[in-house]
Amino acid sequence: MNKKLSIAIDGPAGAGKTTQAKALAKALGYVYVDTGAMYRALAVYMQDEELKDVPEILPEVNLQSTWDEKGNQRMSINGVDVTDRLRTPEISRLASDISAIPEVRDFLLETQREIARENNVVMEGRDIGTVILPDATLKVFLTASLDERAWRRSRQLEPGTYLLPSVKKDIERRDRNDSSRDAAPLAQAEDAILVDCTHMNIKETTQAVLRLWDEALARKAD
Ligand code: DC
């Protein structure tokens, strides 16, 4: 079987996983997979339908990831494109809450593995190196200081709507949630390489990971 290549990027909220995964996928010509967007799309659906019990509705949910010509991932749920509604603090909170539910994780696990079986991928999330792709060609645990992550995240939000202290509190709560749950908590895989990008800009971080990628490929060829 022609085994596909994969980079797994895990790490806490606001570390730059999405930016890096996109840049790496573009540089390598791989498919960029944002698994958080899948949890977020489910959260939008829950909110719209005013649903409380997630496992109950999963059999009726048709979650679809597609990629536009620029490689950006779009999410639709039961035929409705929700991509532009995924990145609000409310949806971040709800996505983190529902991601602790084992049935939700099981529901998404196969979808995510299937994409990696069929494509070379740069996949980012919280449990990619530990659970989804235990045999990933390269595993990176991307992190940065809490202050830096809060600052980066606040700049992505609508100007003037969310103040830095509240963004920081949200991120802290989410990290706690994501790391302390029983089901596939956020954790660095034993064989993942820690990249702390607190003092690195976007380009420097991409280049650092590309160097790790070259090393991983050289190890694989040995
Ligand atoms: O990466 P993100 O901020 O878009 O993810 C939103 C939430 O989804 C995050 O707080 C935890 C959850 N998540 C997860 O549990 N496992 C993943 N692989 C990706 C995201």
Please list the alpha-helical segments (H only) found in the chain: 17-28, 35-48, 54-57, 89-98, 102-118, 146-156, 164-180, 202-221
**166-194 confidence digits (pLDDT tens):** 999 999 999 999 999 999 999 999 999 99
Is there an atom of ligand 1 within 6 Å of 143 CB? Answer: no
3-state secondary structure 103-164: HHHHHHHHHHHHHHHHCCEEEEECCHHHHHCCCCCEEEEEECCHHHHHHHHHHHCCCCCCCH
Asked whether residue 2 carries a pLDDT value surpassing 80, the answer given is: no
73: exposed, middle or buried (Cβ count in 10 Å: 0-12, 13-18, 19+): buried
Q: Residue 32 Cα, ligand 1 centroid: separation in angstroms?
A: 15
pLDDT band at 70 (very low <50, low <70, confident <90, very high): confident
Q: Classify residue 67 as left (phi > 0), alpha (psi -120 to 50) or beta.
A: beta
Taken in order of first residue, the domains within the chain and their CATH numbers are 6-215 (3.40.50.300)
Instruction: Give per-residue pLDDT as tens, 186-216.
Output: 999 999 999 999 999 999 999 999 999 999 9
- Pocket lining: 99 vs ligand 1, CB cutoff 6 Å: yes
Q: Give the Cα separation of 68 and 163 in Å (integer).
A: 32
Q: What is the pTM of this model?
A: 0.94
**Whose C-alpha lies nearest to ligand 1, atom 10?**
96
Ligand 1 center from residue 214 Cα (angstroms): 27
pLDDT at residue 154, rounded to an integer: 87
What is the average per-residue pLDDT within 108-122? Answer: 96
State yes or no: pLDDT of 39 exceeds 90. yes
